[in-house]
Amino acid sequence: MMARVPTLPPDHRGMWRRLISRAHPDAGGDHELFIWTGAVRDVVCGGEGSARNESSYRKESSPRSEAPHPGDVARVPFDPGCDFAALTGRALQYAAGDYGQVLALLLDCQPLRAFAHEQERGASYKRLAAIGHVWGMSKAERGRWYRVAEAIPLSDRHAGHILDRSKRQAA
């Protein structure tokens, strides 16, 4: 007879959050493992590139509100009704202080209809961490960088723009 160990379903949000946090480079994990873990989570939990139906691991009686949403990632708190150009101006005002070189990359960041979905949501902490790594920030500096991004608040489009420009400068 085999003992059965009760476990949570493979798409349980809390377990994925714990796994990804342990794989994160700031927690002593490996960058490649962190990226791979996020991609596996997307497949298992029905995100982009999903190979299965979202409810295949869920019991029929489970509430729909518990199902993970593909865009359900940790983000800077953000009001989708904010004026993107005004937030860009606010970020450029922060450019005079800490992280000025990073935020100055937003000088040519204009609102674009093609990126409206990114302009209406907060920057993901994953993107903010990537910016920190490109700029060689320490763990403590990345923590302060997150607080600056929250204070502005930076949209996902802002973070993507900064990351793109940072990578171009590094090349």
Per-domain boundaries in the chain: 13-52, 84-170
pLDDT value of position 171:
75
Q: Which of 20-24, 76-80, 153-157 has the highest mean pLDDT?
A: 153-157
What pLDDT band is residue 34 in, cutting at 50, 70 and 90? confident
pLDDT value of position 162:
95
State the average pLDDT over residues 18-24. Answer: 80
Three-class SS state of 65: helix
pLDDT(31) > 50:
yes
Give residue-wise pLDDT tens across range 57-114. Answer: 333 333 333 344 455 678 988 888 889 999 999 989 887 778 899 999 999 999 888 8
C-beta separation of 157 from 120 below 8 A: no
Task: List all residues 6 or more positions away from 130 whose beta carbon is below 8 Å from its beta carbon.
Answer: 163
Angstrom distance (rounded) from CA 152 to CA 7: 41
Average pLDDT of the chain is: 79
Tell whether pTM > 0.85: no
